[in-house]
Structures are given as structure tokens and as C-alpha cells.
């Protein structure tokens, strides 16, 4: 009988042509240059800037929640992929995309985030030029408190850096498109939850996170943004083989100012996604790969 998939100890594929399991894509269906986003509506919005290679822009929605578009921008082949949320989805995306693309890759994330600095207005876009750190719930601290007495409830990692050249292109392209006053550069914090490890209060769980944001800012006073994927993208890009074969950068729209409680309105978010996203397509199309 036909197996569900082959190569279970590697990067499994199924079907004919053989498709990677979760993205549902096969060789050549996405480009070496990718804008990766969290929300399908953001991907759809940006896909309107692509022109088709054939009769229409390539589009594929996988049964695991990924949505990919491939077409041309400035005569360069480019993809826009929506992955959903969190460290695992970014891991699925980077690994399975790497498996179906030949040669060097450049990946830029366009996300949304909460903002840790009072002075950064909602609707601004922040570039993680100074790197990203991961904040993880320390599971053993909660599950085996006696064995782990005195341990920290949250683990804060060292910084992981993006590709400097791609990041500089992304920052200058965003400044040109949005105006310099709308673009901020600094450190990103990626968290493994929207809730506990982002310091949100939830009376339904034991989280021990009332001083978490304070601790993060003590270690990284220039931390500006908090979201859920950029660190994983940078980490996997740096771990890719041959070394340096994936270049990564990340920009995020500030949708919520945590110190002031301000939140962005729908129209301002849509504008930042549209104009910011187009700026990222522009930056990617100019990069020498
Ligand atoms: C949480 O609401 C989601 O929004 C942010 C976070 O990283 C997380 O994925 O980014 P996206 O809007 O790109 O999904
Ligand atoms: N996305 C996040 O992960 N956190 C926020 O506060 C807003 C968007």
C-alpha cells in the first residue's frame, strides 16, 4: 500500500509531485526571496503588488494553515507566505521552504507587535536592526517547583542577529516609503506565548510574570518590540547550511503600546501593512543574492 509520506527521519514529502508536509508546496513553487507574514489578509493585500509569471499569480493554501503566493516584483521572482503564529510555525516554514528552494534565500518578516517603549507611537514600523532575544516560559519551574526551587520562571536568551545588509536595505526602503519619523530601529523580543511570556495578566493561570517586562528591559534597555516569530527566523537563518545560505531580516508594525495602552486603529494598520509590505518587496527585489 502507498505510504502517507516518505523520508520520515528527514524532511518528509508526500504525493506526486512530492510536496513538503505542512506547507503543501513542491520544488520551485516559492521563490528565493520571500516576505513572510502572520495573517492571511496581510498576504492577500501584498499579493496585489505581484504580477503573474504566467496567466495568474501562483497561490496555494495548505491544509495546515499556510498560504503562499508567488509572482514577480520589479522583474524579480518573489513569494509572500502567511504562516500563522508562533515559534513552531516559523520553524515549519523556514525548514520546509529551504527544502524546496534551490540556492541562497532571503526572507523578511512583516509582522505586528506590542511595543515596550512609551515613546514609540502605534502605527510605526520597527526594524530589528540590533537583534532579537527569546523569552521562554521555564516549564520545569512551574511543573517541578521543588526540584527547581529558586529557578527563574522565564528564560531570557542572548541576542540573535539578522543579516546586516538585508536589514539596512529593509530600513532604508521603509524610511523612503513611510517617512523616517514612522520607522524605528532597535532590539526585538520574541516570546513563546502571547500571554505569559509577554507579561500579560491572566487570573486563570499561574504565570509569575508581574515583573517580567521589567526584567527584560533591565537586560535589554533598548528592547522596542515584543512578538512571537522573529528570533526563530534569525536563529534558523544563522543555523542554515551551507552557512549564510539564508539571509533574514524583520520589521513589525507596532499595534499596541504596552506602557500607555494605546492600540492602532484598523485603517492605520492596513496602511502600514500595505506601504510597509511594498517597501519590503522593494528591498528584497534589490538585494544581490
Ligand atoms: C499575535 O497576535 C501574533 O501577532 C504577531 C505575533 O508575532 C503573533 O504571531 O505577529 P503577526 O501579526 O505577524 O502574526
Ligand atoms: N503581537 C504580539 O505578539 N504581541 C502584541 O502585544 C501584539 C501583537
Q: Are 129 and 257 in contact (CB under 8 A)?
A: no
Does residue 5 form part of some domain? no
Cell of 57: 499569480
Q: Is 197:154 a contact under the CB 8 Å cutoff? A: yes
Summarised one tens digit per residue, pLDDT across range 186-235 is: 999 999 999 999 999 999 999 999 999 999 999 999 999 999 999 999 99
Residue ranges of E strands in the chain: 13-14, 19-20, 33-37, 58-61, 67-73, 76-82, 105-115, 125-127, 132-137, 154-156, 183-185, 187-191, 223-227, 246-257
Would the CB of 135 count as within 6 Å of ligand 2? Answer: no
What is the per-residue pLDDT for 203?
97
Omega into 17 within 30° of 0, i.e. cis? yes
Residue among 111, 113, 114, 112 nearest 258 (CA)? 114
Are 171 and 185 a contacting pair, CB within 8 Å? yes
ipTM of the complex: 0.99
Q: Which atom of ligand 1 is nearest to the CA of 110?
A: 13
Domain-embedded: residue 156? yes
Per-residue confidence band for 120, with pLDDT thresholds at 50, 70 and 90: very high
In a domain, 164, yes or no: yes
- What whole-number distance in Å separates Cα of residue 261 and Cα of residue 271? 21
Nearest CA to ligand 1 atom 4: 112
Band the pLDDT of 5: cuts 50, 70, 90.
confident
Ligand 2 touching residue 85 (CB < 6 A):
no
**Structural domains of the chain, count:** 1
Which CATH number is 225's domain given?
Answer: 3.40.50.1580
Mean pLDDT of the chain: 97
14 falls in which pLDDT band (50, 70, 90)?
Answer: very high
Task: Please report whether residue 204 resides in a domain.
Answer: yes
Q: How far apart are the CA of 130 and the centre of ligand 2, in A? A: 19
269, part of any domain: yes
DSSP 55: S
Would you say residue 7 lies in a domain?
no
pLDDT band at residue 112 under the 50/70/90 scheme? very high
- Nearest alpha carbon to residue 270 among 255, 282, 283, 280: 255
Residue in 229, 253, 264 to alter for ligand 1 test, most ligand atoms within 8 A of Cβ: 229
Dihedrals φ, ψ of 270, to 5°? -60, -45
Q: How far apart are CA 283 and CA 223, in angstroms?
A: 24
* Any domain includes 4: no
The pLDDT confidence band at residue 56, using thresholds 50, 70 and 90, is very high
- Domain span including residue 188: 13-286
Residue 3 lies in a domain: no
CA of 253 from ligand 1 middle (Å) equals 10
Amino acid at each position: 500500500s502507498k505510504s502517507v509520506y516518505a523520508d520520515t527521519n528527514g524532511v518528509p514529502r508526500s504525493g506526486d509531485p512530492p510536496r513538503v508536509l505542512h506547507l503543501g508546496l513542491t520544488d520551485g513553487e516559492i521563490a528565493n526571496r520571500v516576505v513572510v507574514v502572520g495573517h492571511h489578509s496581510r498576504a492577500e493585500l501584498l499579493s496585489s503588488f505581484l504580477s503573474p509569471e504566467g496567466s495568474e499569480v501562483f497561490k496555494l493554501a495548505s491544509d495546515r494553515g499556510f498560504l503562499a503566493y508567488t509572482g514577480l516584483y520589479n522583474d524579480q521572482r518573489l513569494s509572500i507566505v502567511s504562516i500563522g503564529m508562533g515559534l513552531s510555525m516559523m520553524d515549519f516554514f523556514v525548514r520546509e521552504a529551504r527544502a524546496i528552494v534551490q540556492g541562497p534565500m532571503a526572507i523578511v518578516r512583516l509582522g505586528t507587535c506590542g511595543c515596550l517603549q512609551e515613546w514609540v507611537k502605534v502605527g510605526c514600523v520597527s526594524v530589528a536592526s540590533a537583534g532579537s532575544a527569546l523569552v521562554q516560559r521555564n516549564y520545569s519551574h512551574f511543573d517541578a517547583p521543588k526540584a527547581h526551587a529558586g529557578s527563574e520562571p522565564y528564560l531570557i536568551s542572548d541576542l540573535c542577529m539578522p543579516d546586516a545588509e538585508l536589514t539596512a536595505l529593509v530600513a532604508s526602503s521603509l524610511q523612503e516609503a513611510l517617512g523616517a519619523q514612522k520607522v524605528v530601529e532597535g532590539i526585538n523580543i520574541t516570546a513563546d506565548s502571547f500571554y505569559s511570556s509577554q507579561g500579560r495578566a491572566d487570573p486563570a493561570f499561574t504565570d509569575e510574570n508581574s515583573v517580567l517586562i521589567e526584567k527584560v528591559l533591565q537586560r535589554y534597555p533598548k528592547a522596542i518590540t515584543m512578538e512571537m516569530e522573529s528570533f526563530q527566523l534569525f536563529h534558523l537563518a544563522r543555523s542554515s547550511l551551507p552557512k549564510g545560505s539564508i539571509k533574514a531580516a524583520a520589521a513589525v508594525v507596532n499595534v499596541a503600546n504596552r506602557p500607555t495602552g494605546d492600540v492602532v486603529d484598523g485603517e492605520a494598520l492596513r496602511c502600514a501593512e500595505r506601504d510597509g509590505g511594498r517597501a519590503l518587496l522593494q528591498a528584497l527585489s534589490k538585494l544581490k543574492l
